Amino acid sequence: GHRLALPVALTILIATATVFAVFGWRVFAGDAFEMRTVGAMTLRTLFWAAMVWVAMKARGRKSRL
Protein backbone atom coordinates (compact mmCIF):
# COMPACT_ATOMS: atom_id res chain seq x y z
CA GLY A 1 0.00 0.00 0.00
CA HIS A 2 3.01 2.31 -0.05
CA ARG A 3 2.67 5.18 -2.53
CA LEU A 4 5.86 4.11 -4.36
CA ALA A 5 4.84 0.46 -4.71
CA LEU A 6 3.23 0.85 -8.13
CA PRO A 7 5.91 3.01 -9.80
CA VAL A 8 8.74 0.82 -8.50
CA ALA A 9 7.02 -2.43 -9.50
CA LEU A 10 6.19 -1.00 -12.92
CA THR A 11 9.79 0.13 -13.45
CA ILE A 12 11.11 -3.31 -12.53
CA LEU A 13 8.54 -4.96 -14.82
CA ILE A 14 9.54 -2.75 -17.75
CA ALA A 15 13.25 -3.37 -17.15
CA THR A 16 12.74 -7.13 -16.83
CA ALA A 17 10.56 -7.31 -19.93
CA THR A 18 13.09 -5.25 -21.89
CA VAL A 19 15.95 -7.56 -20.91
CA PHE A 20 13.77 -10.57 -21.77
CA ALA A 21 12.98 -9.08 -25.20
CA VAL A 22 16.66 -8.40 -25.92
CA PHE A 23 17.48 -11.94 -24.78
CA GLY A 24 14.80 -13.29 -27.14
CA TRP A 25 16.22 -11.23 -29.98
CA ARG A 26 19.71 -12.66 -29.31
CA VAL A 27 18.33 -16.20 -29.23
CA PHE A 28 16.46 -15.57 -32.48
CA ALA A 29 19.73 -14.31 -33.97
CA GLY A 30 21.30 -17.68 -33.22
CA ASP A 31 23.16 -17.18 -29.93
CA ALA A 32 23.44 -20.09 -27.52
CA PHE A 33 21.01 -20.19 -24.60
CA GLU A 34 19.71 -22.46 -21.88
CA MET A 35 16.04 -23.25 -21.44
CA ARG A 36 16.31 -22.63 -17.71
CA THR A 37 17.16 -19.00 -18.55
CA VAL A 38 13.95 -18.76 -20.57
CA GLY A 39 12.05 -20.25 -17.63
CA ALA A 40 13.67 -17.93 -15.11
CA MET A 41 12.98 -14.83 -17.20
CA THR A 42 9.38 -15.92 -17.74
CA LEU A 43 8.92 -16.43 -14.00
CA ARG A 44 10.46 -13.03 -13.20
CA THR A 45 8.34 -11.23 -15.75
CA LEU A 46 5.14 -12.89 -14.54
CA PHE A 47 6.03 -12.17 -10.91
CA TRP A 48 6.51 -8.44 -11.54
CA ALA A 49 3.39 -8.29 -13.69
CA ALA A 50 1.49 -9.75 -10.73
CA MET A 51 3.08 -7.20 -8.38
CA VAL A 52 1.98 -4.35 -10.66
CA TRP A 53 -1.54 -5.81 -10.74
CA VAL A 54 -1.65 -6.09 -6.93
CA ALA A 55 -0.31 -2.54 -6.51
CA MET A 56 -2.92 -1.21 -8.95
CA LYS A 57 -5.69 -3.01 -7.08
CA ALA A 58 -4.43 -1.63 -3.75
CA ARG A 59 -4.27 1.89 -5.17
CA GLY A 60 -7.83 1.56 -6.48
CA ARG A 61 -9.09 0.44 -3.08
CA LYS A 62 -7.31 3.32 -1.37
CA SER A 63 -8.86 5.94 -3.63
CA ARG A 64 -12.37 4.63 -2.91
CA LEU A 65 -11.98 5.02 0.87
The whole-number pLDDT of residue 18 equals 98
In this structure, what are the phi and psi dihedrals at residue 20, rounded to the nearest 5 degrees? Answer: -60, -40
Q: Give the model's pLDDT for residue 56.
A: 94
Give 61's pLDDT tier (boundaries 50, 70, 90): confident
CB 5 within 8 A of CB 55: yes
Work out the mean pLDDT of the chain and round it to a whole number: 94
Q: Over 90: is that where the pLDDT of 65 sits? A: no
Query: Residue range 46-60: average pLDDT?
Result: 95
Question: For the segment 7-37, what is each residue's pLDDT rounded down to a tens digit?
Answer: 999 999 999 999 999 999 999 999 999 999 9
The radius of gyration of the chain's CA atoms, rounded to the nearest angstrom, is 15
Q: Where are the domains of the chain?
A: 5-59
